Amino acid sequence: MTYFIKADRFLLENEEKQGGYLKVSNGRFGSFVETIPHNTTIVDWSGYTVAPGLFDTHIHGISGHDIMDGTVEAVHGISESILPLGVTRFLPTTLTSSKEDLNTAIAAVNSAVNQGLKGARSEGIFLEGPYFTEKHKGAQNPDYFRDPDYAEFQEWQHIAGGSIVKIALAPEREGALEFIRLAHQDGVLASIAHTDAGFNRSRQALDTGAGNFVHLFNGMSGLHHREPGVVGAALTEGRAFAELICDGHHVHPEVASLTAHIKGDKLILITDCMRAGLMPDGNYQLGEFPVVMKDGIARTEAGSLAGSTLKLIDGVKNLHEWSGKPLHEIWHRASLSPAASLGRDNELGSISDGKIADYVVIDDNISVQAAAVAGEVKYKKERK
């Protein structure tokens, strides 16, 4: 199927294009044209802006669902819940848990993906843990923390049908550097998280093949002028990506803005959303931990932040406002940078000739009006 999108504005990688027509053919973007042939299909979004679909590479759950529920229904529920929020691609994300529970959760994701997700599409599984350090455990269960074991990881990869594309671990644990080397060799994004490593150890991990820092500033040793720590390594290392939760609670707006200026296109906006997202305040579970959400902020009984309830598009809005950077630049930190971190930027993340036609239609308030996956409009906001 071929059609042309008409809109007031298009958010491109390096600019905001005014007017024109964008070709979509067989699920992929074509080129822009000023005039179109007769007898062609026009999808008219005059008065609106068209942007690339958002890509959440770190999301545990939403709308009462969680990947650690270990059910295909939870995976489908997350997929369908995030599409109206402008997210067209995501990484179903696990938590530290027992080997058996992780087996079940991974198998459920694999089954749901094989059945076909009706909303946002999965681009692979993210294992957050279990190879972490207790000092910065956050909402991860330390009962299951252990040293990295690549044979164990390969068992999970087998259950996943080879779909695990990202794993987070603490680089100071015994055997971590060798694990990172093997993961990198196999094309898996080794990420640094829930760690008390110092600056030098973090650099060693990067030299070995690690390529990402998970929810920067949270769950890691902080920046100090005599020991830069994990945060210092993330901010001074141009090779590595760094995730940021821009809800105003996990990271102060000024620090988020500073990070955006330092990291540039190596910054990835994420949600780290858990099952309480889109739900009312109340009591919830994050893995095996009871969580209380009050005023939209989820915390464990010990007071630690327990993931977030952030919508990725709100993270874009927030950082756009805090940083003063143009919308097209910040938007791509939630679409193109995530894709690039996984080596998928040749196919996803921006409106570019030949790429998969994932796109979102937004109004002047950056509110989602429609969302398309591979050229097919799968969500359209009801007009009042």
Name the residues annotated as catalytic. Answer: 272
Contacts of 108 (CB under 8 A, 6+ apart): 67, 69, 70, 71, 72, 74, 75
Distance CA 131, CA 195 (A): 9
* Max CA pair span of the chain: 68
Distance of CA 180 to the CA centre of its chain: 21
Amino acid identity for residue 365 in this structure: N
Residue for token digits 């193109």?
336
Supply angle C-alpha 343, 274, 297, rounded to 5: 120
What Å distances lie between residue 68 and 142, 189, 241, 274, 286, CA to CA?
Answer: 16, 21, 26, 10, 8
CA distance 323 to 334: 15
Q: Is 59 helix (H, G, I), strand (E, B) or coil?
A: strand
For the beta carbon of residue 18, count every other beta carbon within 10 angstroms.
9
Q: What is the chain's alpha carbon radius of gyration, rounded to the nearest angstrom? A: 20
Q: Which residues contact 62 (CB under 8 A, 6 or more apart)?
A: 77, 78, 81, 82, 273, 274, 275, 277, 278
Rounded to whole angstroms, the Cα distance separating 93 from 61 reads 8
356-375: string of b/e by CB count within 10 Å (b at 16+)? bbbbbbbeeebebbbbbbeb
**Closest by Cα among 110, 113, 112, 148 to 129:** 148
Q: Distance from first CA to last CA of the chain, Å, rounded?
A: 29
